[in-house]
Structure 1
Amino acid sequence: MRFRPLILAFALVAALVTVVPTNSGPAQAAAADRWGFALVDNPTVPTWTVLNTTRQWGSWKPGFPGLWALGGKIAAGRFQVRFPQVGTSVPGIVHVTPVNRTGHYCEVVNSGPAGTDQLVVVQCHAPGGTPSDTAFTILWTLSSGIVPVSQGTHAYVRSTAAGGIVQAYNSTGGGVGVLPGPPGQYQVTLAGVGGTAGPAGNLQVTAISTAGAPRRCKFANWGPSGLDIVAIVTCFNQAGVLTATEFNLSYHRERSVIGSFAPPKFFGYFSPFGGQTNFNYPIGFGVNTLSGGPVWQLVYPQLAVTETHAQVVAQGTGPEYCHLTWPWTYVGLDANVSIICFNNAGTVVPYRFLSTFTSKD
Structure 2
Amino acid sequence: MRLLHSVFTRLLLLCAMVAGGAVAGAGAANAAVPDVWGFAYVDTSSGVPNLAYQAGSWGPGPTVSVTPGVPGEYFVRFPKIGIPKGGIAHVTAISQSAEWCQIEKWGQSGSDEIVAVRCYRFGGGPAKALFSIVFASSSGALFSAAQAFGYVFWDGTSIASDYNSSLGVNAVYPNTTGDWTVWLPGLGSAAQAGNIQVTAVDSSKPARCKVGAWSWAPSGQKIQVLCHDVADKPYDTGWTLTYQRERAITGAYAPPKLFAYTFDNVPANPGPYAPGPAGINYNSQGGINTVQTAGGGMRLVSFPKVGVTPNNVQVTAYGPGPEYCNLLTLWTTYGSNVYVRDVVCYKGTTRVDQPSFVTYVSQY
TM-score between both structures, scaled by the size of structure 1: 0.88
SS at match of 2:122: coil
Structure 2 Cα separation of the partners of residues 336 and 158 of structure 1: 30
Q: Pick one of 103, 106, 111 that aligns with 1:108.
A: 103
The residue aligned with 1:166 is 160
The residue aligned with 1:17 is 22
Per the TM alignment, residue 260 of structure 1 is displaced from its structure 2 partner at its CA by 3.3
SS at match of 1:161: coil
Which amino acid in structure 2 is aligned with residue 223 of structure 1? S
The residue aligned with 2:39 is 37
TM-score between both structures, scaled by the size of structure 2: 0.87
CA deviations 1:73-132 (Å, max 9, x no partner) are 222100110000111121211100000110111111110011111111101111101112
Question: 2:148 aligned with 1:153, yes or no?
Answer: yes
The residue aligned with 1:50 is 48
Aligned pairs (5 A) from 1:1-361: 15-20=20-25, 22-23=27-28, 33-42=35-44, 45-46=45-46, 49-61=47-59, 65-150=60-145, 152-162=147-157, 164-196=158-190, 198-211=191-204, 213-260=205-252, 263-273=255-265, 274-275=276-277, 276-283=279-286, 287-292=288-293, 293=295, 294-337=297-340, 338-344=342-348, 346-361=349-364
- Alpha-carbon distance change, 188 to 217 in structure 1, aligned in 2, over 3 angstroms: same
Which amino acid in structure 1 is aligned with residue 289 of structure 2? N
Per the TM alignment, residue 153 of structure 1 is displaced from its structure 2 partner at its CA by 1.1
Asked whether the equivalents of residues 30 and 163 of structure 2 are also in contact (C-alpha less than 8 Å), the reply is: no
Gaps of 5+ in 2: 1-16, 266-275
Asked whether the equivalents of residues 247 and 255 of structure 2 are also in contact (C-alpha less than 8 Å), the reply is: no
SS at match of 2:264: coil
Structure 1 Cα separation of the partners of residues 256 and 66 of structure 2: 25
Gaps of 5+ in 1: 1-11
User: How many residues of Structure 1 are paired with residues of Structure 2 in the alignment?
Assistant: 333
Which runs of at least 4 in structure 1 moved beyond 2 Å after TM superposition?
Answer: 260-263
More helix by share: 2
Per the TM alignment, residue 210 of structure 1 is displaced from its structure 2 partner at its CA by 2.2
CA deviations 1:268-312 (Å, max 9, x no partner) are 01003522000000216xx10001142100000011111101000
Q: CA RMSD in A?
A: 1.9
Per the TM alignment, residue 331 of structure 1 is displaced from its structure 2 partner at its CA by 2.6
CA deviations 1:168-203 (Å, max 9, x no partner) are 11011112010001110000010111322x110011
CA deviations 1:17-43 (Å, max 9, x no partner) are 1223511799xxxx981111000123x
